[in-house]
Structure 1
Amino acid sequence: MAIISDIEETTNSTPPSEQEKKGNSTMLPNSANGLDMDKYSWGQSLQEVSITAPVPTGTKSRQITCEIKKKSLKLGLKGEPAMIIIEGELFGPVKVDESFWHLEDQKTVSVLLTKSDERNWWKSLVKGGPEIDTQKVEPEPSRLGDLDPELRSTVEKMMFDQRQKEMGRPTSDEIQQQELLKKFDFSKMKRVDKFSNMA
């Protein structure tokens, strides 16, 4: 119980970082399609979210507390004083059985979260945190071939729509609607109206 109260005190007394002060204004994503924060960095692909957090050199695994739940994450260090690195509701649900953490070289904690929905980019790691501009996200081209056909077509459509929006051109859905309108014969519709008026 003492650890929990220490954790809460530490969380409340931690001054917000410069990025956290900016609130929900969108930012350019880092090279991993996430953000570099004061206490950690996160990145993402359509399938996974990866987090790296530096910890004091010599940290042991037993000193780390990491609770991965379907919709939340808590990562920190036990002890006096306890330190919270991340705590909050995740931007999207994750597959707990396919998510894990490990300690590298006793100085870096890595967390891998497997997204439940592999079709969307996360705007932030935790809800209420700094958001990235998902229009600026760049998926790895080499990974597209690894996706199943349905997911690959979804990703390619998203990429096409993103490029079209940037150039001020219609998206794939808008193009499809235009094509349908071209095929639709309005002259037949007018004839139907004439017959209905005659009746």
Structure 2
Amino acid sequence: MAEKLAPEKRHAFVHNGQKVFEWDQTLEEVNMYIELPKNVPAKLIHCVIQAGHVEHDIMLPVKTDSSFWTIEDGELHITLQKREKGKTWASPIQGQGSLDPYVADQEQKRLMLQRFQEENPGFDFSQAQFSGTCPDPRTFMGGIHTD
């Protein structure tokens, strides 16, 4: 059931026709994926994760003690642990690659359903639908129906 509520695809930030990074999120973390240049050895890459900064200012503060980065198959993968579990991020980097309002609403709905699934194990919320605007998944107290 949880896999039905996982991110379906990565969001891409493209600048001047070139993909800069891709990203996705769950209730607890934001994942960034950056394709490394083929001629740069992985041992030369070093990533420093600070509460509000990873090479650029990030959208919201993160828990640095549980955030990390890895390199696999020529891709830098940065996992940022959200300080505010359930908070929907419009982008990992301030001012770069923000989701359009429709996609942001869909992302917020998906995170809300993840929250319900986590808080009510044994129930399948993967087919649940919201009526109206989706509330913040951190504070919502009711209002979904399952057809």
The TM-score, its normalising length taken from structure 2, stands at 0.64
Corresponding residue number in structure 2 for 1:62: 43
The TM-score, its normalising length taken from structure 1, stands at 0.49
Quote the offset at 1:136 in angstroms: 1.4
Residues 178-197 of structure 1 mapped to structure 2, 5 A cutoff: none
Corresponding residue number in structure 2 for 1:192: none
Identity of aligned residues (%): 21
Q: Encode CA deviations 1:5-58: one digit per residue, 9 max, x unaligned.
A: xxxxxxxxxxxxxxxxxxxxxxxxx834x6212121011011011111111236
Runs (4+) of structure 1 exceeding 6 A deviation are none
Of 53, 68, 91 in structure 2, the residue corresponding to residue 100 of structure 1 is 68
Structure with the higher fraction of residues in strand conformation: 2
Q: Encode CA deviations 1:167-196: one digit per residue, 9 max, x unaligned.
A: xxxxx88x8xxxxxxxxxxxxxxxxxxxxx
Corresponding residue number in structure 2 for 1:120: 87
Letter of the aligned partner of 1:46 in structure 2? L
Corresponding residue number in structure 2 for 1:89: 57
Structure with the higher fraction of residues in helix conformation: 1
Letter of the aligned partner of 1:73 in structure 2? V
2:72, 2:22 → 1: CA distance? 15
Letter of the aligned partner of 2:12 in structure 1? D
Q: Encode CA deviations 1:106-136: one digit per residue, 9 max, x unaligned.
A: x111111110101211011112223213211
Instruction: State the Cα RMSD in Å.
Output: 3.4
Which one has the largest radius of gyration?
Answer: 1
- Matched residue of 1:124: which SS? coil
1:135 aligns with 2:105: yes
User: Would the alpha carbon gap of residues 103 and 47 (structure 1) be closer, same or farther in structure 2, given more than 3 Å must change?
Assistant: same
User: Would the alpha carbon gap of residues 56 and 131 (structure 1) be closer, same or farther in structure 2, given more than 3 Å must change?
Assistant: closer
Letter of the aligned partner of 1:57 in structure 2? K
The answer for unaligned runs of 5 or more in structure 2 is 1-6, 14-18, 134-139
User: Would the alpha carbon gap of residues 47 and 109 (structure 1) be closer, same or farther in structure 2, given more than 3 Å must change?
Assistant: same
Aligned residues: 117
Q: Of the two structures, which has the highest relative contact order with CA contacts closer than 8 Å and spacing of 6 or more?
A: 2
1:43, 1:164 → 2: CA distance? 25
